[in-house]
Structure 1
């Protein structure tokens, strides 16, 4: 664990996005893990999802991001930023999850995040352009990548 200046747990930001060309259609996700102290991008992931809805791609991007952040530092506090109001509100527990597929993805995410301090923030789409770019790159190439 890398402590922050105040002696607490390290904080990491996860920016995630997902998209679908057609809904459902060819789908991809993009996510970044960022050190907020330095601004350094610690990881970029593009995930080719295949044929899926936009919401599935959004969830898969968030799951890939929090998984990678916890690989970087299993004790980190995470702050997830997304332009998907649905995922942010469902993961924050403010909206019920009615769709079985979304419920399964939320269960997967909650399992990964068990014991982790995490917060979710909705951001306007224009503030999520880096993750969007990665999602589009994964869709264009029809392949997943990490750098």
Structure 2
């Protein structure tokens, strides 16, 4: 792709926590959704697992489309703070997901990660809920 700037919004949810998990992700350019996706990712796992799956699947989509400048936004303080190095990854079930996300981040030339409040993450939240509803 070109030098355009894109934004990845991601979210994950768990009904029961642990319970049924789904994630959603959308890549936007100029506030318009260019690509989006959602997936049921587990029958019995945690919200944090689902959040990581949301960012991983979104990053895979960004890498597939050769996006080189990406601003990532999500409402998971845990995922954002772990990926920027502020918080340690203590949960053994999240470590492989953290490693996968870091590996994908390295394939993108310029990345920023930022936390947004839940009400600013409605696109990805709606997709995550759609995954759990199907």
Bin of the TM-score, shorter chain as denominator length: over 0.9
Q: Can you give the 5+ residue segments of structure 2 that lack an aligned partner in the other structure?
A: none
1:67 is displaced (CA, Å) by: 1.0
1:75 is displaced (CA, Å) by: 4.5
The answer to whether the 8 Å contact 2:76/2:115 transfers is yes
The answer to whether the 8 Å contact 1:66/1:78 transfers is no
Q: What is the TM-score of this pair, normalised by structure 2?
A: 0.93
1:113 is displaced (CA, Å) by: 1.7
> Quick check: 1:60 aligned with 2:53?
yes
> Quick check: 1:19 aligned with 2:25?
no
Q: What do residues 69-94 of structure 1 show as CA deviations (whole Å, max 9, x unaligned)?
A: 1212x252111100000000001111
Q: What do residues 33-60 of structure 1 show as CA deviations (whole Å, max 9, x unaligned)?
A: 0013xx3211111110122100000000
> Quick check: 1:101 aligned with 2:105?
no
Q: Which runs of 4+ in 1 moved over 4 A?
A: none
SS of the residue aligned with 2:54? helix
Higher gyration radius (CA)? 1
The answer to whether the 8 Å contact 2:18/2:47 transfers is yes
- Equivalent residue number for residue 81 of structure 1: 73
Tell me how large the CA RMSD over aligned residues is: 1.1
> Quick check: 1:42 aligned with 2:34?
yes
1:115 is displaced (CA, Å) by: 4.0
Q: Can you give the 5+ residue segments of structure 1 that lack an aligned partner in the other structure?
A: 3-8, 142-147
